[in-house]
Amino acid sequence: MASQNEEESNKMVVSALYEALSSRDVDTVHRLLAPAIERWFHGPHCHQQHMMRLLTGESSNFTSTSAHSPKQMTSSFIFRPLSIFALGSLVLVEGRDRSRNATWVHAWSVTEGIITHVREYFNTSVTVTRFEKPKTLLNSGSCRHVWESKLCDSMSVPGLILVL
């Protein structure tokens, strides 16, 4: 089990990443990320890869075609965290882009001060549970609710359970 100090340190690493991304501080971004960061995305195709484009430096401006608007729209996607929660090496960050009617959750894995993995969820309700081993052979294991995204509560979106 991670200590509270470790969790606070992991939150600071992830917060520093968002600050570096918003100020376009490439050196800090590279210092905080593992050279071969693992990634995973879930959500509508029109929002796919916003974060990965930022992390790889592919683009600071993004072009996306919306199903509601057939013409292309070019604008920066800015990630502004509204909440950050740490559970051991996992740091969950939630935010919203009202102009795109989009909510997002990033689940970052931090190992020894380096970000090694990101899971990106757009317009998806995310619930995190922890599977606990039974204390005796007679009891079955149980799942304990740990965290739940809040920003997409008023939207009709798919739900996803992340089990630790």
What does the pLDDT read at residue 156? 78
Which domain covers residue 36, as residue numbers? 4-123
> Any idea what the CATH number is for the domain that residue 84 is in?
3.10.450.50
Indicate the pTM of the whole model.
0.80
Per-residue pLDDT at 148 exceeds 80: yes
Per the structure, the count of domains in the chain is 1
| Domain-located, residue 153 | no
Concatenating the DSSP letter of every residue in the chain gives: ---HHHHHHHHHHHHHHHHHHHTT-HHHHHHHEEEEEEEEEES-GGGTTHHHHHHHTS-SSEEE--SS--S-EEE-----EEEEEEETTEEEEEEEEGGGTEEEEEEEEEETTEEEEEEEEES-EEEEEEEE--SSTTSPPEEEEEEE--TTTTS---EEEEE-
**43 domain residue, yes or no:** yes
pLDDT at 43: 80
Segment 20-30, tens digit of pLDDT: 988 888 899 99
Backbone φ and ψ of 146, nearest 5°: -115, -45
The pLDDT tens digits of the residues spanning 34-65 come to: 999 998 888 877 766 778 777 776 765 433 33
pLDDT tens for residues 71-129? Answer: 333 346 778 899 999 999 999 999 998 888 888 999 999 999 999 999 999 888 899 98
Q: Report yes or no on 164 lying in a domain.
A: no
